Amino acid sequence: MGKAYISGLSWLGAKRTSSGILPRFWAAITCLEPITPRRWKSALGRLSLTSILRSISLYWTMKPSLALLYASALCLLNCWPSSAADIVVRVFDASDQTPLPGATLAVLGTEFGGYANEEGYCRIEGLPPGQYDLLCSHIGYRSQTLRGVAPGEEERVVALEPTAVEVPELIVSAARRSQTFAQAPISISVADAERIADHNAFSLTGPLRYVSGISQVGSQPVVRGSSGYSRGTGSRLLMLVDGFPMLSSDIGDIKWDAIPLQQVERVEVVKGAGSALYGTGALGGVINVLTRDPAREPGTRFRLLSGLYSQPAHSQWRWRESPMHFVGFDVSHNRVLGRTGLALSGGHNQGTGYHQNGDGRRYHLYAKAVHRFSPTSYWRVMGNWALDDRGVFIQWRDRSNPLSVPENDAPAHTVSWKLHLNSEYYRLVHSELGYRLKLGYYRTDFTNNAAAGGLVSAGHKISGEGQFDYTGLGGWNWTLGLAGIADLVRSPSDFLGVRSLMTVSGYAQGVYEISPLAEWTVGLRYDWSRLSEASGLAAGPCGVPSVASKSTGEFSPQTGFSYRLSETTALRASLGRGFRVPAVIEVVSQAEASGIRVCPNPALEPERAWSSEVGVKQELAKWLALDMALFWNEYRGLIEARPDPYAGGTVPIARFMNLAQARVGGFESELLVALPLGLGARAAYTLVDGVEFLDADQVLPPYCHGDYGDQAPLPYRSRHVLNLGFQGKRGPTSGRVNFQYLSRFERVSGLFAECGRDYVPIYLLDVQLSHQLGPLQINLRVDNALHYYYATIERKIRPLRRISLSVDGAL
């Protein structure tokens, strides 16, 4: 029998090359002829940074898309050549001395690296003079870090020890630069492209719920109980795509169909407050979706996906007799033209949904280009467009008809589209200094018909950032940056009106190497935000709202410590502050849904938190790995929808309000086991103890008060979350079984009279079988195989049994 490799969804897998990881960008691919840097004309070489920044500033007055292209084009001119040399490393198996083709060599702290050839040689070309730390890794082997390697020196030789448990190696989200997983002072989980594809999903919501420490309420991910259910507004998790912010400007939520799922390389989830590096929104954590760069070899791939939902066991629940089905396809193409790599993709999916008004049609287009000016500089641009045309399920008709909607809601429908453009220029000036310039534009637009509330809004997010990485200051590695975001909201005057939320930020994070085994991290960020006035507002359901502008400033410090006790043990500890500026809709919304009228609250303040944790990563044996953490988070001013005690009328009125104080503590662990006969197992458990401290004068929901005294459980939190997984592989066939348990919510919103009547413990079983048939990968999957009925939000049942079949291949 061969080795059995087991990896959990929170461990790094990235693209499934033999190395197991794929850093964000390879400037030099191994064993190719050297690329001679282009010799710019002297006039261009003397172009000053001041001129570049002055030109970039014009985007405030230009159309966003034109500004994006204009600024990026000027950025790329600033790339004059420098003297450079090569690094050569030979990688082999320590047990039998055979070469390890496909091993990965990553230059830590930069965007660069390469792969080993058939003889085990890896060459990284064109690096400026200096010393670098390199991470060498391969699937099935324990990685090694080479320190102080200089270009041009003699060939290095690395012998990797075999191991049956695959653990994470390279991450980029914890410090905004590449580092080893063991160096991170905070907890990070990783979902790789292969595991995401295994789920036969059209969005990331399904795959993410199996990541350690993450649960799901509705379609909202919850990291370690940091949030409950916010009814689609104001996410406490910051969503990034390739480091660009992707929360909508008006609603402040995550648009899952705006994520190019088939182009995802991996997803890194930072747990705990991340505002010291990422600013507002990172109150409970950060989800950073990293997309693939274009492959060097041209090729076209496709994916076909189809399936159906099982009919409910109770005949009265059935809302249609014909099958509830879905179908979709995606096609992508990669090509290299000179020094430019191109990736293009598009797709479409549609279906009936598993409940009435669950029907929808979705389309998406994607393009990405990476141009290499030299081995140490590149320009990357990306565009993604998505259209979602679907029905709206507001609430069920009644408990006897939970998959049908009330007659008045049957026509409810919405159309939304999203456009994301971004541009990034990166240059490694010398071994101690690198910088990147980024500009992004993200538009969201939705129109609800009258039955769905008649709401219309468009949000424009324009972001710009400059970041410098410097390692030449007495053992400190510094990441410094300036960033600005303009959130522009365009909506009818009786809903949100015309508003703008401007944010300007500066941040610094330093990592001090106490010894080759220990690092100390300190960071600080300041964010200044201003919500503008609105003029010409019309009277909506709540009358004429306030038009006053409002400004706020927030400091977010962070410190952390990591210590490599041995080759198999790494300790970590961190303390940081997070905050979230209220979304525009939370401050000025006027809407009515589910029989509740939501009115503005101009006095709403930012949410604030302190987040701390201690943890250990331990490889107990070559077949056994463990990751554990204790966490403690203190919150002030959490934003929840609560009834207005001073409002009269026949329709209940609610406003978003700040709660006094809350606390979430708990424990998280994940165990990976490699078993004989090609089998493997994974177990992950999270304990969440969330408490809201009630003031005597605090406004309580109209229902479900309970006998809580001065402390009450935070709503929509499962105290216990357990994930179990078993997998096996024999030849071209592999299988996987996943089980998930979530304990019953101890408390819900209290906005509905039924309280927690319809909430039960959740037991989910998913089964998957895959087979490689020549160039085709066939994947059969059954989600919720037990056909278990459950709800995570009021008056809506979660998906029934889902049976799907996908075929992936190359043309």
Residues in the chain: 811
Whole-structure pTM value = 0.87
Name the residue range of residue 661's domain.
286-810
pLDDT higher than 90, residue 733: yes
pLDDT band at residue 653 using 50, 70 and 90 as cut-offs: confident
Determine the pLDDT at residue 751.
76
Average pLDDT, the chain: 85
The count of C-alpha atoms lying within 13 angstroms of the C-alpha of 726, restricted to the half-sphere facing its C-beta, is 8
pLDDT higher than 70, residue 599: yes
- Please, what is the Cα angle at 595 between 592 and 597, to 5 degrees? 35
pLDDT higher than 90, residue 220: no
Separation CA 784–CA 725 (nearest Å): 14
In a domain, 98, yes or no: no
In a domain, 779, yes or no: yes
User: Which uninterrupted H or E stretch holds 69?
Assistant: helix 64-75
Separation CA 166–CA 327 (nearest Å): 34
In a domain, 438, yes or no: yes
pLDDT band at residue 808 using 50, 70 and 90 as cut-offs: very high
pLDDT band at residue 705 using 50, 70 and 90 as cut-offs: confident
Q: Which two tokens stand for residue 169?
A: 């190696």
Report the SS3 class of residue 775.
coil
Percent of the chain with pLDDT over 90: 52
pLDDT higher than 70, residue 736: yes
Percent of the chain with pLDDT over 70: 86
- Beta bridge partners of residue 141, listed in sequence order: 162
Determine the pLDDT at residue 595.
62
Least confident stretch, 30-44, 105-119, 404-418: 30-44
For residue 710, the domain's CATH number is 2.40.170.20
Q: Mean pLDDT over residues 68-78, rounded?
A: 43
Q: Give residue-wise pLDDT tens across range 607-637.
A: 999 999 999 999 888 889 999 999 999 999 9
In a domain, 542, yes or no: yes
In a domain, 11, yes or no: no
Q: Give residue-wise pLDDT tens across range 364-395.
A: 999 999 999 998 999 999 999 999 999 999 89
461: amino acid identity, one letter: K
In a domain, 94, yes or no: no
> What is the number of structural domains in the chain?
1
Q: Which two tokens stand for residue 764?
A: 């989910």
The count of C-alpha atoms lying within 13 angstroms of the C-alpha of 624, restricted to the half-sphere facing its C-beta, is 2
For residue 207, count CB atoms less than 10 angstroms from its CB and return exposed for 0-12, middle for 13-18, buried for 19 or more: buried
In a domain, 431, yes or no: yes
Determine the pLDDT at residue 39.
35
Report whether 236 contacts 643 (CB < 8 A).
Answer: no
Determine the pLDDT at residue 536.
57
In a domain, 358, yes or no: yes
Determine the pLDDT at residue 94.
86
pLDDT band at residue 541 using 50, 70 and 90 as cut-offs: low
Which residue did the predictor score with more confidence, 599 or 413?
Answer: 413
Least confident stretch, 20-24, 271-275, 442-446, 724-728: 20-24
Q: Mean pLDDT over residues 708-719, rounded?
A: 89
Q: Mean pLDDT over residues 392-402, rounded?
A: 93
Q: Give residue-wise pLDDT tens across range 307-327.
A: 999 999 999 999 999 999 999
